[in-house]
Structure 1
Amino acid sequence: MAESCIPTEITDLRGFDVPSGKTDVVFIIEGRKLYLNKGILSFASPVFDKMFHGDFKEKSQEEISLPGKKCKDFIEFLLCIYPNTMEEISGDTAEVVLPLADEYQVQQLKNKCETFLIKQGLDDSWPMHIYIIRSGERLVHSIVLAEKYGLDDMLEKAFALAADRKFSDLKNEAEFVTVSEKTKTELMLKRIDLLETSGLEISTQTKTLLDAISSNPNCEHAVYSPKLRGKKWCTADKCNQSLTSSSFISKLEELGKQKDSFNKIFHLLGVKQYDGIAQKQISLF
Structure 2
Amino acid sequence: MASHMHNEIWKIMAAMYSTPSKHSDVLFLVEGRRLYFYKQLLCLVSPVFKSMLCLDFKEKKTRTVNLEGKRFTDIVILLAWIDPALAFKIDEYRAETLLPLADEYDITNLRQTCENVLCDCSPNVDANVVLRYLKLAEQLNLKNLTQKAIGRAAELNLTVEEATDSTCTAISDSTLAALLEKRVQAKEKRNYFGMGIIRTSTQLKVTTPLIECNTNSRKTANQSKYSAFTGLTDVTIIVDGKRLYFFSDILRRTSSWFAEKLDEISGKGKISLDFGSYNEISTMLEFLDPTKLDTHFVNVRTTLGLFLLSLEYDITVLHEACEIYLKTNISQFDEHDLTRCILLADRGQCSELMTTVMRETTRYTLPKLKATESYKKLYSDTRLNLLKFKVGDIN
Q: TM-score if structure 2 supplies the norm length? A: 0.43
In the other structure, the counterpart of 2:141 is 150
SS at match of 2:65: strand
In the TM superposition, residue 190 of structure 1 has moved relative to its aligned partner by 4.1
SS at match of 1:28: strand
SS at match of 1:60: helix
In the other structure, the counterpart of 2:17 is 16
Q: Which runs of structure 2 are paired with 1:120-131 in the superposition (5 Å)?
A: 120-122=121-123, 129=124
2:196 is the counterpart of 1:256: yes
Q: TM-score if structure 1 supplies the norm length? A: 0.57
In the alignment, residue 155 of structure 1 is paired with which amino acid? T
Which of 178, 188, 196 is matched with 1:186 structurally?
178
Measure the CA separation in 2 of the matches of 1:92 and 1:192: 31
In the other structure, the counterpart of 2:79 is 78
**1:66-113 per-position Cα deviation (integer Å, ceiling 9, x unaligned):** 111111210111000111114110244222222211211111112221
Measure the CA separation in 1 of the matches of 2:34 and 2:121: 34
1:113–1:166 distance in 2 versus 1, CA, 3 Å: closer
In the other structure, the counterpart of 2:107 is 106
Measure the CA separation in 1 of the matches of 2:54 and 2:143: 31
1:91–1:157 distance in 2 versus 1, CA, 3 Å: closer
Measure the CA separation in 2 of the matches of 1:177 and 1:19: 40
Q: Which runs of structure 2 are paired with 1:1-285 in the superposition (5 Å)?
A: 12=12, 13-122=14-123, 129=124, 132=125, 135-164=126-155, 165-168=157-160, 170-171=162-163, 173-174=165-166, 178-195=170-187, 201=192, 255-257=195-197
> Across the two proteins, how many residue pairs are aligned to each other?
188
Measure the CA separation in 2 of the matches of 1:118 and 1:32: 34
Measure the CA separation in 1 of the matches of 2:74 and 2:195: 57
1:70–1:188 distance in 2 versus 1, CA, 3 Å: same
In structure 2, stretches of 5+ residues that fail to align are 1-9, 200-395
**1:167-206 per-position Cα deviation (integer Å, ceiling 9, x unaligned):** 246336556653112112233344445555666x47xxxx
In the TM superposition, residue 114 of structure 1 has moved relative to its aligned partner by 1.4
In the other structure, the counterpart of 2:202 is none
Q: Are the counterparts in 2 of residues 30 and 71 from structure 1 also a CA contact under 8 Å?
A: yes
Q: Are the counterparts in 1 of residues 164 and 171 from structure 2 also a CA contact under 8 Å?
A: no
Larger mean CA deviation between 188-197 and 84-93 belongs to 188-197
Larger mean CA deviation between 14-23 and 35-44 belongs to 14-23
Measure the CA separation in 2 of the matches of 1:121 and 1:188: 18
Measure the CA separation in 2 of the matches of 1:154 and 1:91: 13
SS at match of 1:256: coil
Measure the CA separation in 2 of the matches of 1:80 and 1:66: 18
1:161–1:58 distance in 2 versus 1, CA, 3 Å: same
Q: Are the counterparts in 2 of residues 147 and 155 from structure 1 also a CA contact under 8 Å?
A: yes
Which structure has the greater CA radius of gyration? 1
Larger mean CA deviation between 152-161 and 188-197 belongs to 188-197
In structure 1, stretches of 5+ residues that fail to align are 1-9, 123-128, 203-253, 260-285
1:79–1:166 distance in 2 versus 1, CA, 3 Å: closer
SS at match of 1:115: helix
Q: Are the counterparts in 2 of residues 26 and 35 from structure 1 also a CA contact under 8 Å?
A: yes
In the TM superposition, residue 14 of structure 1 has moved relative to its aligned partner by 3.4
Q: Are the counterparts in 1 of residues 17 and 36 from structure 2 also a CA contact under 8 Å?
A: yes
**1:219-266 per-position Cα deviation (integer Å, ceiling 9, x unaligned):** xxxxxxxxxxxxxxxxxxxxxxxxxxxxxxxxxxx943459xxxxxxx
In the TM superposition, residue 152 of structure 1 has moved relative to its aligned partner by 1.5
How much is the aligned-residue C-alpha RMSD, in angstroms? Answer: 2.8
Larger mean CA deviation between 148-157 and 169-178 belongs to 169-178
* Percent of pairs with identical residues: 31
1:77–1:53 distance in 2 versus 1, CA, 3 Å: same
Where relative contact order (Cα < 8 A, 6+ residues apart) is larger, the structure is 2
1:55–1:181 distance in 2 versus 1, CA, 3 Å: farther
